[in-house]
Amino acid sequence: MTTHHLSDTDQFTAADNLAPSASKVMKQMQHTPLLGSLKLQFDFDNPTTRLVGREHFGPLLVQKPLYPEGPSCCHAVILHPPGGVVGGDELRIQVQANVNAHALLSTPGAGKWYRANGHVARQHLQIQVAAGAAVEWLPQETILFDQADVVLDNEINLHADARFIGCEMLCFGRTASGERFQSGRVRQRYAVRVDGKLLWFEQGTLFGGSAAMTGALSLAGHTVCASLLCVGVPPKKDFIDAVRTAIAPLAEPGAQFGATQMKSLLMVRYLGDRSEVARQVMMAAWKVLRPALLGRESTALRIWMT
């Protein structure tokens, strides 16, 4: 069955002038915004990290805790059953890792943000990590359809002895189908605080079809950008060299990539045109950095392979 989403609220006003039956049908087709919220809390019960708190509302769920690496690291897969986000929808995710807990969170597939219908779609991510704890936020890629109007807001709060790894991959348009991100808007904010002090902050707005899509200081004509942010990494040049060595053979011709460290924060970025390459680059960097940051080997994420 195909669901039709009307793209302009003015159409509903015009519908009132049609025959009553036609007007009623069109109004029934209007999308009702969905709110999905998920709150997760992890505790460390030596030697096991347990998912002790799980609250959800609407179409946002988590599967049962998984332990592919043993009891100390709890894996959780976040599900969004509708499969895509429509204008007006809002997703709120809160994660709290208490003292010494270690949680890894991912998604079973790419997130899809559909073209706007006159309303803005939003996602708010808030992660709180206590002393000695670690959180790995490793969702699969986010696909932004042409004409999407999206706000992505990430807030990470860490104790000075906490550690964090966060991955983000954005795909502008469905290039495999010949679609480019010609119009629409993406607003993004990413804030990291350690003991309440701002360590990292970036924000921006990108308009589809604007000069920023092709400008050298933005996407430079590419359609996929990805980043891996690590906090708590010891400041050693060896890590930067190892990351660059690992990702250099994977990037396709014309792609750009880099790694930068500022004290305990290390950022890896990729800019190219293929989401599968972005995945490979991010995972290659993760495999280098995870042992240094968490003292744990990087095993393949099976959920990314389904």
| pLDDT tens readout for residues 184-213 | 999 999 999 999 999 999 999 999 999 989
Q: d(Cα 158, Cα 155) in Å, to the nearest integer?
A: 10
Q: Give the Cα separation of 222 and 172 in Å (integer).
A: 9
Q: Are 190 and 154 in contact (CB under 8 A)?
A: yes
C-beta separation of 228 from 261 below 8 A: no
Assigned domain for 27 exists: no
The interaxial angle of helices 237-247 and 275-294, nearest 10 deg, is: 150
Instruction: Answer whether residue 3 is part of any domain.
Output: no
205 lies in some domain? yes
Residue 110 structural domain: 86-298
Cα 159 off chain centre by: 22
**Average pLDDT value for residue range 149-174:** 97
Answer whether residue 45 is part of any domain: no
pLDDT at 18 exceeding the cut of 70 = no
Let me know if residue 71 belongs to a domain.
no
Would residue 78 count as lying in a domain?
Answer: no
* Whole-number pLDDT of residue 302: 67
* Number of separate domains in the chain: 1
Would you give the distance in Å from CA 138 to the centre of its chain?
Answer: 7
How many Å apart are CA 201 and CA 250, to the nearest integer? Answer: 28
**Phi-psi region at 17: left, alpha or beta (left = phi > 0; alpha = psi -120 to 50):** alpha
55 located within any domain? no
List Cα–Cα distances, 99 to 128, 165, 167, in angstroms.
Answer: 11, 17, 23
pLDDT of res. 7: 36
Residue 305 and residue 281: Cα distance in Å, rounded?
15
**What pTM was computed for the model?**
0.87
| pLDDT grade for 179, boundaries at 50, 70 and 90 | confident
Inform me whether the pLDDT recorded for 10 exceeds 70: no
Q: Which pLDDT score, from 0 to 100, does residue 301 have? A: 76
CA distance 167 to 280: 12
Find where tokens 């059953």 sit: 81
Distances (CA, A) of 136 to 11, 35, 96, 105, 262: 44, 24, 12, 6, 20
Cα 74 to Cα 106: distance, rounded to the nearest angstrom: 11
The angle formed by the CA atoms of residues 285, 194 and 198, to the nearest 5 degrees, is 95
Assign 120 a pLDDT band (cuts: 50, 70, 90): very high
Q: What is the pLDDT of residues 83-100, one digit of tens each?
A: 899 999 999 999 999 999
User: Is 286 domain-assigned?
Assistant: yes
